[in-house]
Structure 1
């Protein structure tokens, strides 16, 4: 009869050595509101669940993918929160790319 080996759990754990701890990402309360969810459902029903970003290459798209309602003029820049004309559906990659570009512009404009 052969002896069975028991696997040991991980003995060495990683340690977070970053000097500044990043807070976990949380959604703004507005994006959890019934008004926003209703508007997003209407937009997806009208336009379909697809990325509308003209710069998107579509390589990561799949049927039923998650799309994000992205404000063309961001709320912090005075954009209308519930105006369909101010919202473009974007895939995750396009949404991240646009958000990071806007953030970089904002940071560059700081005194």
Structure 2
């Protein structure tokens, strides 16, 4: 005996048809001046992450992927090429900081 099922009244949405916009690198971040700034920030940090978690400095160092992060983001008026406005962060810290700043910006 073969059991038949009733077809659902609502069809599932195929999310594969909705494509996110293509990711485009910010042209300013590709300039030789910005690359020199990023290199200087990473050298000054000794190629180590400067993220502070409960007063403790992160101990991740190169060859982990490190980012030169703007302390005060460019969108918020931070100086884009001032080494004092930069710190070296690993991916986790950079993502947390960026998400936090974006949330502050969007809240008001």
Seen in structure 2, the aligned counterparts of structure 1 residues 108 and 20 have a Cα distance that, compared at 3 Å, is farther
Q: Distance in 1 between matches of 2:61 and 2:36?
A: 23
List gaps (5 residues or longer) in structure 2.
Answer: 1-12
Alignment check: 8 A CA contact 1:71 1:86 kept:
yes
Give the structure 2 partner of residue 101 of structure 1. Answer: 100
SS at match of 1:69: strand
Q: Given the alignment, which residue of 46, 49, 70 partners 2:47?
A: 49
Q: 1:19 to 1:58 in 2, by over 3 A?
A: farther
Change (3 A) 1:107 1:20: farther
User: What is the aligned partner in structure 1 of residue 88 from structure 2?
Assistant: 89
Match of residue 22 from structure 1 = 20
TM value normalised by structure 1 = 0.71
Provide Cα deviations, 1:29-78, integer angstroms capped at 9, x if missing partner: 1111100111222222232211101127748x354111111111111111
Matched with 1:75 is 74
Of Structure 1 and Structure 2, the greater strand share is in: 2
Q: Quick one: structure 1 residues 62 and 39, their matched pair in 2 at CA, closer, same or farther if it must change by over 3 Å?
A: closer
Q: Structure 1 stretches of 5 or more lacking a match?
A: 1-14
In 2, Cα distance between equivalents of 1:88 and 1:99: 13
Q: Size of the alignment, in residue pairs?
A: 94
**What is the DSSP-based 3-state SS (H/G/I as helix, E as strand, rest coil) of the residue aligned with 2:38?**
helix
SS in 2 for 1:89: strand
